[in-house]
Structure 1
Amino acid sequence: MPKVSSVIVPYAAYLRVYEPLAAFPEPERDHWARYARRPDRPSYQDELRRSLMDLAPTPPVPVPVHESDDAFVLEADGVVCVCPWRTRLRGWQALGELAEDFPLSVLDVLLPPVVRHQATQDYERWLADHPDARPWIRTSTWQVPINWFVLFADDEREYDKGSAAEAPVLRYRTPMVQARRRVARGLRALRDAMEESLLIDGLVDVGRWLEEFHPRSLVELDYGGLVHALPAGTLEDDHSAADVAEGIAALRRGDGEGAGEAYGRLVERWRAVRDLRSAN
């Protein structure tokens, strides 16, 4: 559980895939096996702090010079599973999405064009040698995309309210086979109810991403730093995956009103986060 401190880095949620050691070729498998035995493994906050420290110099370093050799680790039914950070790869991909989040004039101040151009060239050269590269982690700031909730059931929800020394935790974990099945069922219901939508596009994208991994992987949705953006009572009562499942079930029944009510609960629950984002 992440520690509470003055340097907590909000507000991002994460969708992670943990693959069994058997999914990795040697010598990478041996590296992760040894890594999993370490008692001092870093947290997601450590990764974020390192990334922010790279932005402090002038000019900033938007993408790490070297790829991270860290990972998140969990054990399920006696099987060790790892989720490599791949911070450098994710940094390159995030850099390509910045234009969607900031006006060009603001982006040029944050990251000068020459810095972005160099990073883009580095990525293109690297990608030519690693055409099948994909991240094990997806990140979303200020929100959890609705299509992420489709992968999980309410009984897979884990909540810990935390303490003075420990931050709250809200996450879901499910076997890969269940996540893929829910994607397929969700897409059928959505396509039967509407011709096209951003939700369908997003779910297709997530489904394709999941197909890249070992079938015995685990999928995790971690609210991460978003727990600091949601009021304590709202966080404890947050059952967004259940609302999404109820909405999809209503669409499957042809109950548009029921689907609208479920969506309305989602909108209302996340209003506080949107208001906080607007204030910043």
Structure 2
Amino acid sequence: MPRPFVAYLRVYEPLSSFGGSLGDLLRAVIEDGAVEHAQAGVREREVWFRSQLANATLPGELPDGRPSPSSVRDVLVIDPAEVHCEDATVGPGPLVCPMDVRARSAAALMGFLETSTPMLRAAMLSDSPERLRARAATILGDQPNGSVHIVSTTWTVPLPWFSLVDPAHRHIVVAPRDDPRRQVFWRVAMGDARRRIERAATLAEQTFGDAGPTRVLIDTAAWLENFDDASAVELDYGGLVQLFSDEELLEDTSADDVNGILDAIEASDAGEVAERFTKLRDFWAGMAIRERFN
């Protein structure tokens, strides 16, 4: 079975920033062995399947609503040496990213309740929207810093996310499509990511107004403010790497193009902006078609 076609933006905080019982739990998890980076999407799918079999309301919890002991222990870990730093530092290590499957599911439920029609809610929900909304809000409120450590998207990577990273520091492993070692990701220091996205949001607002890409940049910048200053940020193509050929992965210039667009906006070079937008549109068009057919 292929990995889920999901891309991720993750925050890894220093283990030292987690106190109390959560810090003790994370230390024990690291000693026992964290989730392998390449298996993160598969693990999330497994948690979802288990919730369906157990008749739980949300993935990552028991039928009675308590967090599942196993999902609480789902954590990704990296070393500060694996993070690209420009004007900021990270650590001390290890750097820890709780997968927060239950809390992320609660956030998705809140989004569904806010955007779905009454008819769709009636067909999909087994409890009242009010009770579900209150329960989801409680779960999110229990997060140590009030926010989940991972945001994800299916079938594509939001282009504004590329403004967070230095294109030259892409980590790419070309392996067979069904091999979990096949990966594309960037890891950057939190301070550098915040500086980059602040610049991008300012330029985008001057050019596009406060909608579209500007809103994504502003919301992402606000999300990053929830975490320790010495954290790392990871942009990961996740399971999307299965949908590209080796040649497409190697020739992918999305990060270069997004950062080039920002430079061109700053230089008032409309031709360069248009040329790079065209490249991005052409590269990601195939993903849009796949999503439509699925």
1:202 Cα deviation from its structure 2 partner: 0.8
Inter-partner Cα distance in structure 2 for 1:125 and 1:187:
31
1:235 Cα deviation from its structure 2 partner: 2.0
Of residues 215, 218, 230 in structure 1, which corresponds to 2:229? Answer: 215
1:269 Cα deviation from its structure 2 partner: 0.6
User: Would you say the 8 A contact 2:34–2:77 is kept in 1?
Assistant: no
Inter-partner Cα distance in structure 2 for 1:164 and 1:182:
32
CA pair 191-256 structure 1, distance change in 2 beyond 3 A: same
CA pair 72-214 structure 1, distance change in 2 beyond 3 A: same
TM-score normalised per structure 1 = 0.86
What's the counterpart of residue 157 of structure 1? 170
CA deviation vs aligned residue, 1:123-158 (integer Å, no higher than 9, x gap): 234456669521000011111111211100111211
Name the aligned partner's letter for residue 36 of structure 1.
I
Name the aligned partner's letter for residue 151 of structure 2.
R
What's the counterpart of residue 132 of structure 2? 119
Inter-partner Cα distance in structure 2 for 1:49 and 1:242:
35
Unaligned stretches of 5+ in structure 2? 62-66, 82-91
What's the counterpart of residue 102 of structure 2? 88
1:145 paired to 2:158: yes
CA pair 40-127 structure 1, distance change in 2 beyond 3 A: closer
What's the counterpart of residue 86 of structure 2? none
1:72 paired to 2:76: yes
1:1-280, aligned counterparts within 5 Å? Answer: 6=1, 8-39=2-33, 41=35, 43-44=39-40, 45-55=42-52, 61-65=57-61, 66=67, 68-77=72-81, 79-98=93-112, 109=123, 111-114=124-127, 118-127=131-140, 133-163=146-176, 166-167=179-180, 168-280=182-294
Name the aligned partner's letter for residue 71 of structure 1.
V
CA pair 69-274 structure 1, distance change in 2 beyond 3 A: same
SS at match of 1:200: helix
CA deviation vs aligned residue, 1:151-187 (integer Å, no higher than 9, x gap): 0011121110113762310111111111011011112
Query: In angstroms, what is the RMSD of aligned CA positions?
Result: 2.6
Percent identity for Structure 1 against Structure 2: 26
TM-score normalised per structure 2 = 0.82
SS at match of 2:48: helix
